[in-house]
Copies of this chain bind each other. A is one copy, B any other.
Amino acid sequence: MRLVSLAKGGRDGALAIVSADGTQYVDATQAAPTLQAALDNWGRVEGDLRSLAGSLSASNGLQPIADTALAAPLPRAWQFLDGSAFSSHGALMDKVIGVVPQRRAAPLMYQGMSDRFYGPTEDVPLPGEDLGIDFEGEFGVIVDRVPMGIDAEAAMQHIKLVVLINDWSLRALAGPEMKTGFGWVQAKPASSMAPFAVTPDELGAHWVDGRVCLDLAVDWNGERFGRANGREMEYGFHDLVAHAARTRALCAGTVIGSGTVSNANFREVGSSCIAERRGIEIVDEGAARTGFMRYHDRVRMEAFVEGGRTLFGAIDQQVVPATRL
């Protein structure tokens, strides 16, 4: 089952279900007005949504998806906890920064901005081209309510939806903020989500041990930039959920991110963010050649399953100058 939030539904969108081929939708607001409301009552609502998803037809109001604007599945969330679970990315970044790489005892995770997620084609306003504008392609999951102190195995059952996220990053601000130990605020503005939030069963054989085993196709200004696969996560999403819930219950609708998708053979498959490519250049050539994004640059992110079917739909958006916003 794949769910979307129609932008016309207001600030939290209006819940709808997507057809198998991704070209049509049916209003699902009778089951729950918004995706947040569905997650708040998932045990009760899921059955209704699955019934509806199983009987999509013109008679229950199928509409062409091309005719409507899609918001992020959760246009805002109460919580976004973003990991950094791909060790090839971390090890490379450590090398570039000059830190001795080490196997960590626990997942890396920070609390990110969650009161706004951009929709898949919205313009992304940022206040300076000199801030090191970078995309970060990652997978994420959305949970229903998770009790404090849950273990990873039990956490798996709380993963209700899988999403594709572009975690926008401002690299010129990231280093100084990281050095404070306080994590990122200015360096991590609002993120974007691809339009379809997908139940794990939709991934079939590509959902393995809490990992999204799909290539993440990233295009920058129409050129393929990376196609790293999600299978190399050092920790599965269930481990990340359990980590997040050690000292807090997670509210329904909490988004947990994987961190930049990255593979050990990054020289072959490319990267999901510019900083990683620059890191490779520094290691291989002594200096970074690739610049960060400029205004009106576009980034596209998508993951495909059998038959070239797009699973999450596409993020495809441009960076624009921020005026007073």
Binding site for B on A (CB under 8 A): 76, 78-79, 81, 84, 104, 106, 108-116, 125-127, 131, 147-150, 170, 173, 176, 178-187, 189-190, 243-244, 246-249, 251, 254, 322, 324-325
Does A324 contact B78, Cβ atoms closer than 8 Å? no
Does A324 contact B110, Cβ atoms closer than 8 Å? no
A182 in contact with B185 given A78-B114, A148-B127, A324-B147 (CB within 8 Å) = no
List 14 A-B residue pairs with CB atoms under 8 Å apart, sorted by A's residue number.
Answer: A79-B115, A106-B176, A108-B180, A108-B182, A110-B111, A111-B112, A115-B254, A116-B249, A125-B148, A178-B181, A181-B181, A182-B184, A189-B247, A249-B325
Q: What's the Cα separation between A184 and B244 when bound, in Å?
A: 11
A190: chain B residues at CB < 8 Å are: 248
Q: What's the Cα separation between A115 and B77 when bound, in Å?
A: 9
Nearest-neighbour CB distance to chain B for A154, whole angstroms, equals: 10
Interchain CB contact (< 8 A) of A76 among B78, B247, B254: B78
Does A322 contact B149, Cβ atoms closer than 8 Å? yes
A76, A127, A178, A183, most chain B CB atoms within 10 A: A183
Q: What's the Cα separation between A109 and B187 when bound, in Å?
A: 12
Interchain CB contact (< 8 A) of A183 among B173, B176, B181, B324: B181
A111, A125, A131, A243, most chain B CB atoms within 10 A: A111
Q: Which 7 A-B pairs have the closest CB atoms?
A: A183-B183, A78-B115, A178-B181, A110-B182, A115-B251, A111-B111, A189-B247
A76: chain B residues at CB < 8 Å are: 78, 251
Does B324 contact A149, Cβ atoms closer than 8 Å? yes
Does A186 contact B247, Cβ atoms closer than 8 Å? yes
Q: What's the Cα separation between A282 and B185 when bound, in Å?
A: 32
Does B183 contact A246, Cβ atoms closer than 8 Å? no
Does B147 contact A185, Cβ atoms closer than 8 Å? no
Does A186 contact B243, Cβ atoms closer than 8 Å? yes
Does B111 contact A113, Cβ atoms closer than 8 Å? yes
A183 in contact with B186 given A173-B247, A254-B115, A322-B149 (CB within 8 Å) = no
Nearest chain B residue, comparing its CB with the CB of A244: B185
A112: chain B residues at CB < 8 Å are: 111
Q: What's the Cα separation between A116 and B247 when bound, in Å?
A: 13
Q: What's the Cα separation between A178 and B111 when bound, in Å?
A: 13
Q: What's the Cα separation between A249 and B116 when bound, in Å?
A: 9
A79: chain B residues at CB < 8 Å are: 113-115
Nearest chain B residue, comparing its CB with the CB of A106: B176
Nearest-neighbour CB distance to chain B for A142, whole angstroms, equals: 13
Interchain CB contact (< 8 A) of A127 among B127, B131, B149, B186: B149
Q: What's the Cα separation between A176 and B105 when bound, in Å?
A: 10
A180: chain B residues at CB < 8 Å are: 104, 108
